[in-house]
Amino acid sequence: MSDNPYVKNKNLQIYLNGELVGLDEAKISVFDHGLLYGDGVFEGIRSYNGRVFELAAHMRRLYDGAKTIRLEIPLSAEQFKESIYQTLKANGLDAKDAYIRAVVTRGVGYLGLHPAKTVNPSVFIITDECELYPPELYETGMELVTVATIRNHPAALSPRVKSLNYLNNILAQIECVDAGCVEGIMLNHEGHVAECTGDNIFILRDGELQTPPTSAGILEGITRSVVIRLAKRRGIPVQEKQLLRYDLYASDECFLTGSAAEIAPIIKIDGRVIGTGKPGKITLELLEDFRAVTRDELQV
């Protein structure tokens, strides 16, 4: 049994390059370019009662990102999906809620940057019980700050690629924690609202839901697209548009979306109270719908 202090389940089985191995056997070389350069792609996925949520969309984003960085995933999307289910089963998570981390690294090479000599990408999958934001945050709402670190310029490293190179978000996350918040808002190179360090952002203004477009330089969140579909189903108009901080401060409601966060209500931004200072009505309705979708009680 492993003595890894960070993982609760010491018998966790990890999928690593086609095999299920114990925690202590799940090792990657110091010459892997995923480690040396953050060269690789990943996904953070949820499963509810053993059913992987929006798996096709996660696979699409993973494979599109890999293609963008010229990384060939050594499995077909079908094989990848099967490997995820196999890993959940091996950990007794096939009838529970879980968090899944799927990672593809460039693989082992030498110290040069160019990946030409790294012929064997590594694939690993970690599945474990899910750690969420504390449940109180969904009742009281969360506070956000705007951070100074701007989101990566999309023409330099597109935030649409969920790459292993997360320093941009990590630097922003450090600022959030320094300010006493668990999340924060990142602006883009033009000063427009982009997204949070690990979540997308929405506001409600005069009955219309608004969220920055992908051209603002954001990760095209899968929860974000589910929420857009849920809002349309309720007849709520949705607009993807450039937002300034002013728009956030003047909004009636605000919330974050992400695989781990689901839909998290925001009640204060940079010291400005949003709406009534309590989680908004539409936010809570969308959260209820979202949870119904995850329980398979509603289809969108």
Residue 11 CB, nearest distance to ligand PMP (Å)?
27
Residue 258 CB, nearest distance to ligand PMP (Å)?
4
* Nearest partner of 209 among 187, 185, 186, 241, judged by Cα: 241
127 lies in the binding site for ligand PMP (CB under 6 A) = no
Residue placing its CB nearer to ligand PMP in the complex, 33 or 151: 151
Residue placing its CB nearer to ligand PMP in the complex, 141 or 221: 221
What distance lies between CA 153 and its chain's CA centroid? Answer: 19
Stretch that binds ligand PMP, among 11-19, 62-70, 83-91, 197-205 (CB under 6 A): 197-205
Residues 14-73 that bind ligand PMP (CB under 6 A): 44
Q: Are 173 and 160 in contact (CB under 8 A)?
A: no
Residue 132 CB, nearest distance to ligand PMP (Å)?
13
Q: Where do we find the tokens 């798996």?
A: 55
Token pair for residue 85?
């289910």
Residue 260 CB, nearest distance to ligand PMP (Å)?
7
CA atoms of 22 and 265, how far apart (whole Å): 38
Residues forming a β-bridge with 193: 187
Residue placing its CB nearer to ligand PMP in the complex, 109 or 221: 221
195 lies in the binding site for ligand PMP (CB under 6 A) = yes
DSSP 212-249: --GGGT----HHHHHHHHHHHHTT--EEE----HHHHH
CA atoms of 113 and 134, how far apart (whole Å): 41
What three-state secondary structure class fits 177?
helix
Provide the sign of the torsion angle of the four alpha carbons 219, 75, 262, 5, taken in this order.
negative
Token pair for residue 126?
């970690």
Residue placing its CB nearer to ligand PMP in the complex, 33 or 224: 224
Residues forming a β-bridge with 69: none
232 annotated active-site: no
Exactly one of 199, 228, 254, 263 binds ligand PMP (CB under 6 A); which one?
A: 199
105 lies in the binding site for ligand PMP (CB under 6 A) = no
Exactly one of 34, 40, 258, 280 binds ligand PMP (CB under 6 A); which one?
A: 258
Residues 221-240 that bind ligand PMP (CB under 6 A): 221-224
Contacts of 278 (CB under 8 A, 6+ apart): 141, 267
Helix axes 77-90, 55-68, angle to 10 degrees: 120
Residue 261 CB, nearest distance to ligand PMP (Å)?
8
Exactly one of 14, 161, 219, 282 binds ligand PMP (CB under 6 A); which one?
A: 219
Exactly one of 200, 210, 211, 251 binds ligand PMP (CB under 6 A); which one?
A: 200
Set 27, 81, 162, 278: catalytic member: 162
Residues marked active site are found at: 162
Residues at the site binding ligand PMP, with contacts judged by CB under 6 A = 44, 169, 195, 198-200, 219, 221-224, 257-259
